[in-house]
Amino acid sequence: MRKLALDDDILLTIEKPARYIGNEYNMVKKDPKEVDIRFCMAFPDVYEIGMSHLGIQILYNMFNEWDDVYCERVYSPWTDLDAVMREKNIRLFSLETQDPIKDFDFLGITLQYEMCYTNVLQMLDLSGIPMFAKDRSEDDPIVIGGGPCTYNPEPVADFFDMFYIGEGETQYRRLLDLYKENKKNGGSRKDFLKLAASIPCIYVPSFYDIEYNADGTVQSITPNEECAPAKIKKDIVLDMSSSPYPKKPLVPFIKITQDRVVLEIQRGCIRGCRFCQAGSVYRPVREKNIETLKETAREMLKNTGYEEISLSSLSSSDYSNLPELVNFLIDEFKEKHVNISLPSLRIDAFSLDVMSKVQDIKKSSLTFAPEAGSQRMRDVINKGLTVENILTGSMMAFNAGWNKVKLYFMLGLPFETKEDNEAIMDLCELIAEEYYTIPKQERNGKVNITASTSFFIPKPFTPFQWAPMCTKDQFIEKATIVKNKMNTLLNKKSIKYNWHEADLSELEGLLARGDRRLSSTILAAYNNGCIYDSWSECFKYDMWQKAIEDTNVDMDFYITRERDTDELFPWDVIDIGVTKSFLIREWNNAKEGKVTPNCKLQCSGCGAASFGGGICFENKN
Amino acid sequence: MEEEFVLKIRIKFKKQGQMRFIGHLDIMRFFQKAIRRAGININYSEGFSPHQKMSFASPLGVGLISSGEYFDIESDTAVSSEESLRLLNGAMVEGMEVISFKKLPDDAKNCMASIAAADYILHITGDSNPITKEITDTFLSRDNVVITKKTKKSEKEIDIRPFIYELSSNENSVFMKVASGSVNNIKPEIVIDAICSLYNLEAPKGIYERVEMYANIGTEDNINLVSLESLGENIE
């Protein structure tokens, strides 16, 4: 039996020791001495969050299918163990072999949201790996970043040796082969970085010098090594049906956030909402073959024993064979007591029919994401959902017995006015009125409408990357407008309004469009004791504030400033396939409230066709 | 109305090594999935969210290992015990092992209702065992052992001596057979604590193991303990 890194006394005093002992069903066991490369995959958040992430499961399985690689996992120790490890000088360890992370060849850290950056430092620090890449020695693991935040990795660029830009399924084999080759030739760490930079999707930040203008904007991004290309090109899977997928995913002992079989049905989104980074960076849309999905679902359920399966993708309703797939899942697995957990679907006759089959109507609710209250604003953000869609969908659902509606909106969108904020509540009122047109004896009590707003944060590689973001006070003011409007409504008793806190949004906005100079701010925040920033019980706003002041960060420069379209952005070193000229065109369309059709209706020439696959090449004879 | 045929099955398993850090609710969830992985036929409850008909004898605290844990399931068909064990053990993780799979008589009470006693061993991990044979012998010769039991509201004095059926000791372990279940439930730490406080010993460091659980087929005054698995028989 393996020896655990933590002794019994520690394991019996901390919360949920299962987070740290591994041994989950389907955990891969190999002899580390028998492999050439030891890779540790890290998720900088607590186990229950990290284990719910599909990307790591995909790569874990793919790596471990290779005989020369042993891929293990590590998650951030929760604050209780974090304190014990610091006090007793215990080094961070992997779950599989329980070996120190510092002994691995690679530490791959996924960056899923900006507010995990202090946890990246926590993991490096507890591992005993120097936080800055420049301070690492030949003995330290190569620290490689991946995931959505690497589309602007600049705020954390100094902490990483390299970033993998795009989908991990395609180029890791090549990268690991280069690593082996370099080792065989007795090459140094730097030699390997140079070899890695020859792969078009690998970004080695230390190979680039950044010059700034007097006003603080980026003047130039210049390669300082011959091997470093001027631009890093995102790499993607072209044939989703044949790409690796975990048929035997790990089954944790403790309940995790996504505690079920997850079936990815497609990547990318045809919609083109102008605020959405995922919709932009995952282009073009690529669907998985339905027969592959059916077979995968069967195998995964058999290999895990899970009693629930869910579908994963952006805008699942757009998957072309969705009705066939959902009906298959219901027919095949409902008898075997497998719950089908539906993603949020566009409300229509089909979705209401399947929802009524797999959910308890009395308990479940309808979900709409209009994102903005007025039609004018929905045209600005290119969200093709109309009041008619919402009211017709609601009415169909009310007639079928539903009486709970959830609506999601954003506040602080570009070109937004007070009227647009108030329109959120006008829409809620319309839905309530619609409900009460049903004769009293036929309806199911009171209607229950919940409107939630989050604050809009401009993200790189979206048409809104040039937009100013609101300040904290402006956000709160907008939320107050919505709240006050609600109180004037006839049906206010049927409506509930929730809004997010603004402190975190402000920091997320800072880091999302930040540059390399922010690394000192993140480090200062970490040194001030900030970790688990996305957890409200751990978030220390005052300590972040102090870090921002101590490192002289001008928040207005990063947050509220409107950028010119000729500004060079810190993330312009990356090429996501979607061109800047397309994003500028979309930014101008937003200003004019002009809607752009989705990829299925018409190609708008975003540039993603350059990958040579996906929807860009379908329906074109 | 036709009477529905239900097969009652008792499953005995071991929980060893690092699995002792996994709590009882998670072990239940583990077996729910393992049964599905193994393809064992099990009945489900009615209603909108049906659950497996499965009930555990007694929760085992975090930190304890066991070589005698039990749960019962209901099923309408079953393959042989041998085959079922093979299937279930193909769906285990390191530290978990299913050791018997037996059919119960139709009128059998479930394991939770049946349990009357349990065997525990304290495996001493320190240098020596301060609880010697002399100590256990003297302890057993006492008429009563009164301890103070703290509840949320009050403190209660109880005599645990009648509920300690056996106690013995050797160089590196202490064995005990104690009352267990819903009526009188004696945790092994309580006995060890009582010994240590009576004879002024420093509490020994070690790992507790539950070894077996018993049903009482005698009477309240004249108990006759048989292991929970012996109430069932192998399916051929």
Q: pLDDT tens, B109-122?
A: 999 999 999 999 99
Assess whether B162 and B189 both reside in one domain. Answer: yes
Examine the pLDDT at B2 and tell me if it is beyond 70: no
Please provide residue A611's backbone torsions phi and psi, each rounded to the nearest 5 degrees: -75, -20
Among candidate residues B58, B90, B113, the one where a domain is terminated: B113
Determine what percent of chain B is predicted with pLDDT higher than 90: 85
Q: Pick the residue of B14, B37, B65 with the most A CBs within 10 A to test the interface with A by mutation.
A: B37
Assess whether B108 and B129 both reside in one domain. Answer: no
Instruction: Say if the Cβ atoms of A23 and B95 lie within 8 Å.
Output: yes
Assess whether B101 and B125 both reside in one domain. Answer: no
CA distance A252 to A304: 10
Contact status of A254 with chain B (Cβ, < 8 Å): yes
Give the pLDDT confidence score for residue B4 in this predicted structure: 66
Average pLDDT for residues A323-339, to the nearest whole number? Answer: 93
Q: Which amino acid is at B155?
A: E
Q: Pick the residue of B14, B15, B21 with the most A CBs within 10 A to test the interface with A by mutation.
A: B21
Average pLDDT for residues B178-182, to the nearest whole number? Answer: 93
Which among A301, A349, A375, A311 has a CA at the least distance from the CA of A595?
A: A375
The whole domain housing B193 covers 115-227
Check if the beta carbon of residue A42 is closer than 8 Å to that of residue A73: yes
Among candidate residues B97, B113, B129, the one where a domain is terminated: B113
Q: Is residue B121 part of a domain?
A: yes
Instruction: Say if the Cβ atoms of B34 and A305 lie within 8 Å.
Output: yes
Q: What is the mean pLDDT of chain B?
A: 93
Assess whether B68 and B158 both reside in one domain. Answer: no
Q: Is residue B171 part of a domain?
A: yes
Token pair, residue A603, equals 């190609």
Give the pLDDT confidence score for residue A347 in this predicted structure: 86
Instruction: Say if the Cβ atoms of A305 and B18 lie within 8 Å.
Output: no
Examine the pLDDT at B201 and tell me if it is beyond 80: yes
Give the pLDDT confidence score for residue A348 in this predicted structure: 86
Give the pLDDT confidence score for residue B220 in this predicted structure: 86
Strand residue runs (E) in A52-94: 69-75
Assess whether B223 and B120 both reside in one domain. Answer: yes
Assess whether B44 and B58 both reside in one domain. Answer: yes
- Residue A577 C-alpha, separation from nearest chain B C-alpha, in angstroms: 43
Largest Cα span, chain A = 82
Examine the pLDDT at B1 and tell me if it is beyond 50: no
Assess whether B108 and B119 both reside in one domain. Answer: no
- Residue B19 C-alpha, separation from nearest chain A C-alpha, in angstroms: 9
Q: Which long-range contacts (CB under 8 A, 24 or more apart) does A323-330 make?
A: A323/A350, A323/A354, A324/A290, A325/A265, A325/A290, A325/A293, A325/A294, A326/A354, A327/A354, A328/A294, A329/A297, A330/A354, A330/A357, A330/A358
Nearest CB partner across the interface for A11, out of B21, B26, B36: B21
Q: Which amino acid is at A7?
A: D
Give the pLDDT confidence score for residue A81 in this predicted structure: 98
Examine the pLDDT at A620 and tell me if it is beyond 80: no
Give the helix ranges, DSSP H, for B123-166. 133-140
Average pLDDT for residues A146-173, to the nearest whole number? Answer: 98
Q: Is residue B122 part of a domain?
A: yes
Assess whether B23 and B121 both reside in one domain. Answer: no
Examine the pLDDT at B126 and tell me if it is beyond 80: yes
pLDDT digits (tens, 9 = 90+) for A87-100: 999 999 999 999 99
Assess whether B153 and B85 both reside in one domain. Answer: no
Instruction: Say if the Cβ atoms of B26 and A27 lie within 8 Å.
Output: no
Token pair, residue A619, equals 């329906």
Assess whether B94 and B143 both reside in one domain. Answer: no
- Residue B51 C-alpha, separation from nearest chain A C-alpha, in angstroms: 8
Q: Is residue B165 part of a domain?
A: yes
Average pLDDT for residues A327-344, to the nearest whole number? Answer: 91
Check if the beta carbon of residue A256 is closer than 8 Å to that of residue A56: no
Give the pLDDT confidence score for residue A508 in this predicted structure: 96
Determine what percent of chain B is predicted with pLDDT higher than 70: 98
Instruction: Say if the Cβ atoms of B33 and A255 lie within 8 Å.
Output: no
Q: Band of the pLDDT at A362, cuts 50, 70, 90?
A: confident
- Residue B42 C-alpha, separation from nearest chain A C-alpha, in angstroms: 11
Examine the pLDDT at B153 and tell me if it is beyond 90: no
pLDDT digits (tens, 9 = 90+) for B88-109: 999 999 999 999 999 999 999 9
Check if the beta carbon of residue A190 is closer than 8 Å to that of residue A554: no
Please provide residue A444's backbone torsions phi and psi, each rounded to the nearest 5 degrees: -105, 65
Q: Any idea what the CATH number is for the domain that residue B18 is in?
A: 3.30.70.580
Q: Pick the residue of B14, B18, B208 with the most A CBs within 10 A to test the interface with A by mutation.
A: B18
Q: Is residue B1 part of a domain?
A: no
pLDDT digits (tens, 9 = 90+) for A542-590: 999 999 999 999 999 999 999 999 999 999 999 999 999 999 999 999 9
Average pLDDT for residues A253-270, to the nearest whole number? Answer: 96
Q: Is residue B180 part of a domain?
A: yes
Q: Which residue of A has its CA nearest to B91?
A: A25
pLDDT digits (tens, 9 = 90+) for B3-38: 567 999 999 999 999 999 999 999 999 999 999 999
pLDDT digits (tens, 9 = 90+) for A432-449: 999 999 999 888 889 999
3-state secondary structure of A549: helix
Among candidate residues B57, B89, B113, the one where a domain is terminated: B113
Average pLDDT for residues A239-263, to the nearest whole number? Answer: 96
Instruction: Say if the Cβ atoms of A12 and B22 lie within 8 Å.
Output: no
Contact status of A12 with chain B (Cβ, < 8 Å): yes
Give the pLDDT confidence score for residue A1 in this predicted structure: 67
Determine what percent of chain A is predicted with pLDDT higher than 70: 99
Give the pLDDT confidence score for residue B149 in this predicted structure: 81
CA distance A345 to A314: 10
Give the pLDDT confidence score for residue A245 in this predicted structure: 96
Examine the pLDDT at A70 and tell me if it is beyond 80: yes
DSSP A532: -
Assess whether B25 and B97 both reside in one domain. Answer: yes
Please state the domain count of chain B. Answer: 2
Give the pLDDT confidence score for residue A621 in this predicted structure: 43
Taking CA B130 as the corner, what is the angle to CA B124 and CA B131, rounded to the nearest 5 degrees?
85
Q: Is residue B234 part of a domain?
A: no
Show residues of chain B in contact with A27, CB under 8 Å. Answer: 93
Instruction: Say if the Cβ atoms of A25 and B22 lie within 8 Å.
Output: no
Examine the pLDDT at B204 and tell me if it is beyond 60: yes
Q: Pick the residue of A253, A260, A338, A356 with the most B CBs within 10 A to test the interface with B by mutation.
A: A253
CA B91 to chain centre: 22
Largest Cα span, chain B = 66
Of residues A618 and A46, more confidence is placed in A46
Strand residue runs (E) in A178-217: 202-203, 208-212
Assess whether B171 and B211 both reside in one domain. Answer: yes
Q: Is residue B236 part of a domain?
A: no
